[in-house]
Amino acid sequence: MDDQITKIKGIGDEKAASLSSIGIHKIQDLIEYFPFRYEDYELKDLAEVKHEERATLEGKVHSEPIVRFYGKKKSRLSVRLLVGKFLITAVFFNRAFLKKQFTLGQIVTVTGKWDQHKMTLSANEITFSSHNPDGTIEPIYHVGGDVTVKAMKRYIQLALNQFGNQIEENLPPQMLERYKLMPRKEAVMMMHAPPSHDGLKQARRRFVYEELLQFQLKMQVFRKRERESTKGASQVFEKEKLEEFVQSLPFPLTGAQNRVVGEIVKDMESSYRMNRLLQGDVGSGKTVVAAIGLYASYLAGHQGALMVPTEILAEQHFESFQELLGGRLNVELLTGSVKGKKRREILERLASGEVDLLIGTHALIQDEVAFQNLGLVITDEQHRFGVNQRRVLREKGLSPDVLYMTATPIPRTLAISVFGDMDVSTIDEMPAGRKPIETYWAKPDMLTRVIDFVKKELDQGRQGYVICPLIEESEKLDVQNAIDVHFQMQTALPGYQVGLMHGRLSSDEKEEVMEEFSTNDVQLLVSTTVVEVGVNVPNATIMVIYDAERFGLAQLHQLRGRVGRGSDQSYCVLLADPKSEVGKERMQIMTESNDGFVLSQRDLELRGPGDFFGRKQSGLPEFKVADLVHDYRVLEVARNDAAALVDSTAFWEGETYRSLRDYLTEQGVLSGEKLD
């Protein structure tokens, strides 16, 4: 299987060069070059064909064909066919020459798009006999250069004829048995020439599991190695003191918060270093969970660090942690703005162990910052920090425990795939008493009514946001767009202070605008999306999002979470006129759900996994057959299986697992090289 494709009779150097341009070098590459879709020529029972579905039907010619000409060279041929007990019309465009080939009573097979309402098939293929009574499923391959689909089919057939018997099984018999999976050799044959839909489904099912299991094995081995090579320090503390702190909080923890605290504390007590992602919707109470973790680390005699992406967020966290922990431990703030004598003092007190908890921006990872005994590092909105920034912070302590927090609810499938080397904790329950934000979708021609609605909220002493979308092509346009909307709001709402925030402002200017908004010197903030992360203004109750169709669901949900942080009812208005069905569906979903996890799953289904994180940084694996969105149940099964295997002696020593171990060696996972 590792031989070059020139070993296949019928493929010479020239053909091999063409194939190599699309990534096919070895016999195995060719044999496993699976179709990306299938054309369905399998005969359907008309009663089962859905509206607008592509179908192949067999029928008897029931009437003389009629041809109508229009325009210069355009024609429409229609002919009545009796298909089973239904009389339908088959229509052919610009194929007037077919007229002579029809005879009454003749059997024909036609393929095309079915219109159930008009009982019409827009046909693009026809066969004038029932030489193929069962129809077929035709594989379609991705091709390039001078390789055609027809040629690709021929090359694959040559390879299978000559080397098909050498396809080896790589899954252990007990797994094939447990999940009733098709043997590998049979599945390969079936993928390239499926005799039936069911056969194709079973072959696909087998490869989906195989790919996801191999992928998860890589992840689990990597994770095991990471854990074992970086022994953490077991953090020992008095449970009663932690319990007493939890009881002293101004509100009881939700069930989800309690569960997550349990997972974090258990990690901290273990001798392995914690590497955990804590995800929870906006307002689900991650901050309190973080405070409990940091207090536990303090009780164990260690310092804590909390790193956030922006200064204003660092300041807000500093204030909330002062409230939660201030009387119990020394909390300090370190950002780029803290300079001179004050900075020197903080650094000295940190190095001597006087500072128990340091909160700051990436200023925390500069060389001069030295902790005496760092036990727990928490980074907020972790996907905003690069992997290297996270690593530097981690290396400041003697293998401190690490907790990443994010308010972007990541669908479970992606969490398993992208953060496969982490454990994932999820807060999936809202604290009691939070009122869901009422969300409305308005067309742009309703803007006047929307502004009246905003005015009503401001008249009651509340504040609001107006969000302008980023126009990717041009930063200039973004800023101009925001300036125009700012002017529009100032004109429409005299008597109120309208602030403006956009990407061209320096960070000091941004901080200043946010400060004015936080203290209610500004009542309405017009902003491009820089306001997305973490800002907490409980008095803000209304948000208007312009051109909402330009945002994904996850981002709309993030933005919406800026309001609804106080006790008053809050509102979000989506100004949008989406043209596509997906766009309309997105607006609809936003008005129906306040649950970030539901939304992120739907976003994933509508946009696909690559767009969810942005292609460049997605870190998503490419699969030949598996699809992370549709095969998420198999992904979960594969993950559990892989974790169990990696922890078992049988996997590392047993003969039945040799193929899977060989795969890991090929991938450079077992030889100690880093995973790609």
Q: Flag whether pLDDT at 186 surpasses 90.
A: yes
- Domains within the chain, CATH numbers bracketed: 43-135 (2.40.50.140), 239-427 (3.40.50.300), 438-593 (3.40.50.300)
pLDDT at 638: 93
Q: Flag whether pLDDT at 570 surpasses 60.
A: yes
pLDDT at 245: 95
Q: pLDDT: is 361 or 204 the higher one?
A: 204
Residue 123: left if φ>0, alpha if ψ -120 to 50, beta else—which one?
A: beta
pLDDT at 47: 85
Q: How confident is the model at residue 675 (pLDDT cuts 50, 70, 90)?
A: very low
pLDDT at 615: 40
Average pLDDT, the chain: 86
Cβ atoms of residues 51 and 116 within 8 Å: yes
Structure tokens at 249: 């909080």
- Listed range (139-153, 526-540, 591-605, 642-656) with the worst mean pLDDT: 526-540
Mean pLDDT confidence for 255-267: 94
Cα 325 to Cα 178, 237, 313, 330, 536: the distances in Å are: 52, 17, 18, 8, 19
Q: Flag whether pLDDT at 237 surpasses 60.
A: yes
Q: Flag whether pLDDT at 594 surpasses 70.
A: yes
Q: Flag whether pLDDT at 416 surpasses 80.
A: no
Q: How far apart are CA 632 and CA 416, in angstroms?
A: 10
pLDDT at 214: 94
Q: Flag whether pLDDT at 349 surpasses 90.
A: yes
Q: Flag whether pLDDT at 614 surpasses 50.
A: no
CA dihedral sign of residues 275, 281, 285, 287: positive
Cα 547 to Cα 212, 451, 501, 579: the distances in Å are: 38, 15, 17, 12
In this structure, the chain runs to a length of 676
Q: How confident is the model at residue 618 (pLDDT cuts 50, 70, 90)?
A: very low
- Listed range (152-166, 322-336, 421-435, 468-482) with the worst mean pLDDT: 468-482
pTM for the predicted model, two decimal places: 0.64
What is the Cα Rg of the chain in Å?
A: 31
Q: How confident is the model at residue 395 (pLDDT cuts 50, 70, 90)?
A: low
pLDDT at 611: 53
Burial group, residue 437, by CB count within 10 angstroms (0-12, 13-18, 19+) = buried
* pLDDT tens track for 67-83: 999 887 899 999 999 99
Q: How far apart are CA 510 and CA 557, in angstroms?
A: 22
Percent of the chain with pLDDT over 90: 48
Q: Flag whether pLDDT at 610 surpasses 70.
A: no
DSSP 371: -
pLDDT at 388: 57
Reduced 3-state DSSP string for 18-62: HHHCCCCCEHHHHHCCCCCEEEECCECCHHHCCCCCEEEEEEEEC
Q: How far apart are CA 379 and CA 401, in angstroms?
A: 11
Mean pLDDT confidence for 195-220: 93
Q: How confident is the model at residue 171 (pLDDT cuts 50, 70, 90)?
A: very high
Burial group, residue 674, by CB count within 10 angstroms (0-12, 13-18, 19+) = exposed
Mean pLDDT confidence for 226-246: 84
Cα 583 to Cα 308, 553, 625: the distances in Å are: 33, 10, 28
Residue 219: left if φ>0, alpha if ψ -120 to 50, beta else—which one?
A: alpha
pLDDT at 616: 39
DSSP 356: S
Q: Flag whether pLDDT at 590 surpasses 80.
A: yes
